[in-house]
Amino acid sequence: MFTAQQYVKAATLQEAYELNQKRNNAIVGGGCWMKMNRRRYQTLIDLSGLGLDKIEKTPEEFVLGAMVTLRQLETSLELKEAFGNGFYEITRHIVGVQFRNCATLGGSLVSRFGFSDILTFLMALDCQVELAHAGLVSLEEYAKMPYDNDVLAKVHIAVNGRRAAYESLRQSATDIPVLTCAASVLNGTLRVVVGARPMRAVALEFSFPETDEALAEICRQVEETVQFGSNLRGSKEYRCRMAGVLCRRAVCSLKEGTSC
């Protein structure tokens, strides 16, 4: 468990940003992952007074506050209406309801954990993060950026007719995934995101496969082009093979009515 000398509930995003510039200060998201580190912080910065716990919808996009909990994502009827079961599928395996009532969207994205179900799925959508300093950055780009002192305030998800599907493989039901895969389609373009490689998720694009052979070729390309590694949960070789399987399954569920 970390220690801290001070706790500040930020009154404005600017205040949070300024506090976060000090190396020994840190923002508390849900606290679930953060408590596992043993760092000695000077000041903990709490964003919970900034009204960032809302899911807002405009005709063009969803705007999700950084402090929206995973449980909110899981149970939001609006998100379900727009993205089907996607948000339920990416959250339901994460530890338990109590955990998901604490853990936040912002915490999940800022950490950019390789094993993140959230990051994998959101990368398959048209998603931007709104940073206090840098402004809007595409999630795909953000996923590649090193950790910095900016403050993630909101997440914007375009509502543009993109359909997405999600698959994950786990050793046990509430464990961290061995591999995650999201697939989405918009205007005939297929985007495939592979996470828990175990490194951070990466995205690839293809033209949407109309035939089984074309899909098989895409799965083969995913296996070949994506880098995989080994850790306690699985070997590089297994992950590579499973990427093809999960990719095919995700694409198949996008193709309604097609059997694979």
Partner 1 sequence: MSFVNAPIRKKDAMSLVTGKPVYTGDLIPQNALVVKLLRSPHSNADIESINTAAALKVPGVCCILTWEDVPDARFTTAGQTYPEPSPYDRLILDRHLRCYGDPVAIVAAENEQAADKALRLIKVKYHVMEPLLDFTKAKDNTILVHPEDNFRALCPVGADNKRNLCSTERMDIGDVDEVLKTCDVVVERTFNTKANNQAMMETFRTFSYIDEYGRLTVVSSTQVPFHARRILSNALQIPKSRIRVVKPRIGGGFGAKQSVVSELFPAIVTLKTGRAASIIYSREESMTNGSPRHQMQMKVRVGASKDGVIRAIDLYALSNAGAYGDHGPTTIGLVGHKSLSLYGGLEAARFDNEVVYTNTMGGGAYRGYGATQGIFAVESAVSELAAKLGMDPCVLREKNMVAQGQMMPTYYNEPCNSCTLDKCMAKAKEMMDWDNKYPRRVLENGHIRSVGVAMAMQGSGISGVDIASVEIRLNDDGFYTLLLGCTDMGTGCDTILSQMAADCLDCDLDRIAVRGVDTDFSPYDTGSYASSTTYVTGMAVVKTCQVLREKILKTGAFMLNVPEETAEFDGKRVFVPGTEKQVTLEEIGYASYEGHNRCLSASESHSSLISPPPFMVGMAEIDLDPETGKVEVVDYVGAVDCGTVINTNLARVQTEGGIVQGIGMALYEDICYSASGKMENNSFLQYKIPSRLDVGKIHIEFESSYEPTGPFGAKSIGELVINTPAPAIMNALYNATGCFFDTLPVRSEDIFFAMEEKNK
Partner 2 sequence: MLITVTINGKKYTDEIAPDMVLLDYLRQKGCYSVKRGCETSNCGLCTVHLDGKPILSCSYLAARADGHSVTTLEGLQEEAAEFGAFLADQGGEQCGFCSPGFIMNVLAMVRELKDPTEAEIQEYLSGNLCRCTGYQSQLRAVKNYLAHKQEVQS
Interacting residue ranges for partner 2, rule: CB under 8 A: 1-7, 9, 28, 30-33, 35-36, 41, 44, 46, 48, 71, 92, 95-99, 101-102, 173-174
Told to check if 257 binds partner 1 by CB under 8 A, we report no
Which of 68/178 has CB closer to partner 1? Answer: 178
4's tokens: 């801290």
Instruction: Give the angle 66-68-70 at the CA atoms, nearest 5°.
Output: 115
Told to check if 255 binds partner 1 by CB under 8 A, we report no
Q: Which of 124, 125, 242, 243 binds partner 1 (CB under 8 A)?
A: 242
Side by side, which strands form the sheet with 189-195?
163-169, 179-186, 189-195, 202-207
Q: Which of 78, 175, 212, 224 binds partner 1 (CB under 8 A)?
A: 175
Read off the amino acid at residue 87.
Answer: F
Q: Name the CA radius of gyration of the chain, rounded.
A: 18
CB of 244: closest distance to partner 1 in angstroms?
A: 9
Told to check if 29 binds partner 1 by CB under 8 A, we report no
Cβ proximity of 237 and 219 under 8 Å:
no
Q: Which of 9, 57, 241, 255 binds partner 1 (CB under 8 A)?
A: 241
Please count the residues of this chain forming the interface with partner 1, following the rule CB under 8 A: 18
50's tokens: 């900034």
Instruction: Name the E strands within 58-158.
Output: 61-65, 127-131, 135-138, 152-158
Cβ proximity of 200 and 229 under 8 Å:
no
Residue range at the interface with partner 1 (CB under 8 A); choices 64-72, 149-157, 183-191, 235-243? 235-243
Q: Which of 186, 238, 254, 255 binds partner 1 (CB under 8 A)?
A: 238
Told to check if 5 binds partner 1 by CB under 8 A, we report no
For residues 175 and 169, give the distance between their C-alpha atoms in angstroms, rounded to a whole number: 10
Pick one of partner 2, partner 1, none as the site partner of residue 35 (Cβ within 5 to 8 A by kind): partner 2
Expressed in angstroms, the distance from the first to the final Cα of the chain is 47
Q: What is the DSSP letter of 34?
A: G
Told to check if 232 binds partner 1 by CB under 8 A, we report yes
**Distances from the Cα of 176 to the Cαs of 61, 72, 118, 171, in angstroms?**
30, 20, 12, 8
Cβ proximity of 64 and 78 under 8 Å:
no
Which of 186/252 has CB closer to partner 1? Answer: 252
Told to check if 6 binds partner 1 by CB under 8 A, we report no
Cβ proximity of 162 and 74 under 8 Å:
no
Which of 156/233 has CB closer to partner 1? Answer: 233
Pick one of partner 2, partner 1, none as the site partner of residue 32 (Cβ within 5 to 8 A by kind): partner 2
Told to check if 234 binds partner 1 by CB under 8 A, we report yes
Positions touching partner 1 (CB under 8 A) are 3, 36, 169, 171-176, 178, 232, 234-235, 237-238, 241-242, 245
